[in-house]
Amino acid sequence: MESKFNELCHLARQTACLKSTLALLEWDQQTKLPAAGGAYRAEQITFLAGEIHRRETDPRRGELIHDLTNSDLMADPHNDKAATIRELGWKYSKKVKLPQSLVESIARAGSIGQQIWVEARRENDFQKFAPHLKEIFRLKREEADAIGFEDQLYDALLDEFEPGATTTEVALVLKDLKNDLVPLIQEIEASGNRPDASFLGRNYPVDQQENFCRLASAKIGFDYDRGRLDVTHHPFCSEMGPDDVRIATRYDESWFGTAFFGTLHEAGHGIYEQGLRRDQYGLPPGQYCSLGIHESQSRLWENRVGRSAGFWRYFFERAQSHFGHALSDVNEQKFHAAVNRVEPSLIRVEADEATYDLHIIIRFELEQEIINGNLDTNDLPEAWNSKYQTYLGIQPDSDANGVLQDVHWSAGLVGYFPTYTLGNLYASQFFDQANSDIGDLEQLFSSGEFTP
């Protein structure tokens, strides 16, 4: 059994080697690829995704998993080996349901979809993106059908990101949250307490922003010997090896928050990846356990840490030394209040903590409607705008700031959005627990201590 286990691990590590190579192809597409290189890049991505699927559904892998699942290596379910067999088995049983051609089609559509999305968003042209979006959702429905589900099609997609969670459970959590958030936001609005945030819209030179982003992300624990920071269209984090985790952000010269909180968010993902067990790289004990947990780390560093008073007690002076002109008449208290201002807004990744989850709920509802066949993707801009009116009382001024703002659907990530809200909820619990275990975290932050 030991030799079968080693063989299974060897196969999994080889697949991980291809996956990390695929991650480089994708990272490069989003950060470095020459303008005309997109069509062939999609072919490379499709080919590698196909090779990965072939290996993940290799009958030999199935035999090994079958034999090992019934072996005494499973005696202690908390053991690394048992976890490895169980998780690889779970993955195998899902992957064998997916036809090779569907996997390749989804990979191709995702690569091309992202490229077209970049153009469509830049040109504020939903029609340009519409046929690709339609095709992506068609393929994702086919995927959900192939995987199968007990209750709803959407379950099969959600399970890819938050294993074991069901649509019904998640909907319940989000509904409860919404019932608390809506009156909270109304109360905040009625209070008339609206801190001045206008200085966040002054001129923040991109070079200085990048320096400050690097400074802060390194300080909170992102290791630049094992990672990079680059520029992209939509912030992301990607790992392409046990010592190679890359984050990417975008800069808005006249808005401080875009790059800074975006970088903290992605650095949170990166710190989590860099903290995984190196010796288990390519095996389940060396991998993230769910996207909700992953997002709990990004949202924790972005918000629970990055918008705290202690954080700015340490960082505000440093911000001033980077952006002297923009912050000359601002003090720490005003700055801390500004980055915590609550106000319904159009862009999810820049939303405050109170309204953020409403952005998620909107997406969660819309993607279910599309997957269930109750909403045509061509009608999405209208449905999007109408939900923003209902939940946030505002309407996008353009599709670029509306339905085209997020990269996810273009990349085939359907069922991903709710993990942000789960992440927010997990993050708060982790943070509170850490606070009671370690002591006054804000006190530590204020002296530049982020390691504990």
> Rule CB under 8 A: which residues touch a second copy?
14, 17-18, 20-21, 24-25, 28, 32-37, 39-41, 43-44, 47-48, 223-228, 240-244, 246, 281
C-beta neighbour count of 304 within 10 angstroms:
22
C-beta neighbour count of 314 within 10 angstroms:
20
CA geometry: angle 381, 295, 140, nearest 5 deg: 45
User: How distant, in Å, are the alpha carbons of 36, 185, 252, 261, 409 from that of 197?
Assistant: 41, 18, 16, 15, 32
Euclidean distance between CA atoms 392 and 75, whole angstroms: 51
Return the number of the residue (257 or 270) whose C-beta is nearest a second copy.
270
User: How distant, in Å, are the alpha carbons of 101, 291, 386, 408 from that of 269?
Assistant: 31, 10, 32, 16
Select which of 56, 210, 266, 273 is catalytic: 266
How many residues are present in the chain? 452
User: Nearest Cα to 389, choosing from 344, 350, 356, 353?
Assistant: 344
Check if the beta carbon of residue 111 is closer than 8 Å to that of residue 117: no
Euclidean distance between CA atoms 379 and 385, whole angstroms: 10
Question: Is 266 among the residues known to form the active site?
Answer: yes
Euclidean distance between CA atoms 189 and 222, whole angstroms: 36
Euclidean distance between CA atoms 300 and 102, whole angstroms: 36
Q: How far is the CB of 281 from a second copy (least distance, A)?
A: 8
Residues annotated as catalytic are: 266
